[in-house]
Structure 1
Amino acid sequence: MTFVVGQNCIRCKDTDCVEVCPVDCFYEGPNFLVINPDECIDCEDCVPACPEDAIYAEDDVPDDQKAFIELNAELAEIWPNISEKKDRLPDADKWSGVADKLKYLER
């Protein structure tokens, strides 16, 4: 089983999860992070580190976010790796908790 970044990360992109990842399996897009499922070692360290509650075990991804399983795998192949914490996006507080954010994902 791997972990998946869901929609709550979009337009927030808090990188506390990146800082605790022992294998650097996060990849960064303009306004979202993803986990490479082939690199994730299922350690769960990222889950409690995410202030947006945006990371799920693959088996626990909410039904309305199942597309994010494939999206994480797809985007991890094209986005650059991120291994150090960065500041969250400037307007992250405004977007925290907003539903249905997939339409705001920038590739």
Structure 2
Amino acid sequence: MTYVIAQPCVDLKDKACVDECPVDCIYEGPRKMYINPDECVDCGACEPVCPVEAVFYEDDIPQEWSEFRRADTEFFAGLGSPGGAAGLGPVDRDHPVVAGLPVPTSL
């Protein structure tokens, strides 16, 4: 099992979770942060620091955001396990679940 970052993170990317992660497994896409399920050690340090409550234990994701479990897993299909987000830097693509969400318009 692992943790997943769901819809409330989209277009926010606060990154408090990145600062708390002891294994550097939270990667940045253009619109959302992603947890690498192969690198996550299930410590849960990321969950309580998220200001928008976007981080969930895999089995506890609300039904309306269940597709984010797949998004976090499939995001790494082409990347594999780079061994840490800091060394890789931001990734230039989002998973289609995220990329397909409407972009908020500014006022």
Q: TM-score, normalised to structure 1's length? A: 0.73
Q: CA-to-partner distance for each residue in 1:42-101, whole Å, 9 max, x for gaps?
A: 000000111110000001001111110110011134578534xxxxxxxxxxxxxxxxxx
**Alignment coverage as a number of residue pairs:** 89
Structure 2 match to 1:4: 4
Q: How far apart in 1 are the matches of 2:21 and 2:101? A: 27
AA aligned to 1:72 is: D
Identity over aligned residues, as a percent?
44
Q: CA RMSD in A?
A: 2.3
Gaps of 5+ in 1: 84-101
Q: How far apart in 1 are the matches of 2:101 and 2:74? A: 17
Q: How far apart in 1 are the matches of 2:61 and 2:76? A: 18
| Structure with larger Rg | 2
Q: TM-score, normalised to structure 2's length? A: 0.73
Gaps of 5+ in 2: 87-99
Structure 2 match to 1:103: 101
Q: How far apart in 2 are the matches of 1:71 and 1:18? A: 18
**Alpha-carbon offset, residue 14 of structure 1:** 0.6
